[in-house]
Amino acid sequence: MSAPLNSLGLPKAPKDTRVVVAMSGGVDSSVVAALLHEEGYDVIGVTLQLYDHGAAIEKKGACCAGQDIYDARRVAEERGFPHYVLNYEDKFKNSVIEEFADSYLRGETPVPCIRCNQSVKFRDLLAVARDLGADCMATGHYIQRRINAKTGRAELVRAVDPGKDQSYFLFATTQEQLDFLRFPLGGWGKDVTRAHAQRLGLITAAKPDSQDICFVPAGDYTKVVKSLRPQAGTPGEIVHLDGRVLGKHDGIIHYTIGQRKGLGIGGGHDDNNDPFYVVKLDAANARVIVGPKESLARDTIHLKGCNWLSGDGTAGLPVLLKFRSMMQPIAATLTRHDDGGATLTLQDPQYGISPGQAAVCYDGDRMIGGGWIAGTENSRIALAA
């Protein structure tokens, strides 16, 4: 008879199961590491030093930087398990920060946290975990991993707490990675996590959640992008959809699809006093295209760089869709293409969808995958963006 499964779904006693825990220095990953150690697992904490020491990106206390590394190390020391800090600055800069800057130059709205999970954390760090002889790697993400009783395959399911669910940021997780990963917090709310942190006496128990992109100080992404790509400040014209030049701008980086305020064109309203919105960013010609709200409506999304955890690619698959992390899922139809791309047809037109964002698909609460938005259109008026 096979050995009974432990709490991580492995046929070993906890003491014989080595778990690498990705520790960012926050309360969530600290609790994961401390609880698994308390349960008797052979825990190794690993923290990635990611930020750039250069003048372009000056960070103080951001994720995986100075204070957070110190906090992760303290938790490991106080609980009594080993902890390592790996310098991944170059990998992070090349895989995440450079792409972030280039995406803005293309007139897109990037999501660097997905790129970080896709490359540095779930590619490079998993390789380190395997080199350390780990049976699995655990993180503090709020998402559930479950085994499909029919197929025996691991699946990703939205967290119990919808306000903390991070499934949107994990759409690029491959099946091979998912087989090795564990997410102990997916069935909890943040209040439960903090209660355990208090009980365990962790120094991170009252530490606030990070709100900004980890390498962007105080949310000022334009400063970061301009320091890396000075041409991001190239001035240009603000143009109405009908071709009228309405004003000037100091770089398309200051604008996002769907933006209404701060357009730099006086009142920013048409003759009927209806506000203008950013409809398109024409990066090649340094133009910001504006128009009425109805011109933002899109009912078709084209994807590239897709990753699917399930599904056979059948055309016309009904799905629930998110193109922002905190939005309520909406109804759509998925058609996958042989070239690795896909098309999503929305049941109802949506507003403010930007290239560069991720579109993530669900079957109920089960996350089945997604891709990067390459373009959108409105089939009713054939207006591309």
Catalytic option among 63, 113, 116, 361: 116
Q: Is the dihedral of CA 239, 240, 243, 244 positive or negative?
A: negative
Q: Which amino acid is residue 241, in one-letter code?
A: L
List alpha helices for 23-118, DSSP H. Answer: 27-38, 66-79, 89-92, 98-105, 112-116
Task: Calculate the dihedral angle through the C-alpha atoms of 95, 98, 101, 105, rounding to the nearest 10 degrees.
Answer: -100
Give yes or no: 116 in active site: yes
Give yes or no: 214 in active site: yes
Instruction: Indicate the SS3 state at residue 383.
Output: strand
**Integer Cα distance of 158 and 365 in angstroms:** 5
Size of the chain in residues: 385
Catalytic option among 63, 113, 136, 214: 214
**What's the Cα-to-Cα distance from 196 to each of 33, 78, 185, 384, rounded to whole Å?**
12, 15, 11, 50
- 10 Å Cβ neighbour count for 244? 9
Unique residue bearing structure tokens 């899109």: 298
**Integer Cα distance of 369 and 98 in angstroms:** 25
Write the burial class of residue 40 (CB in 10 Å: 0-12 exposed, 13-18 middle, 19+ buried): middle
Active site residues: 116, 214
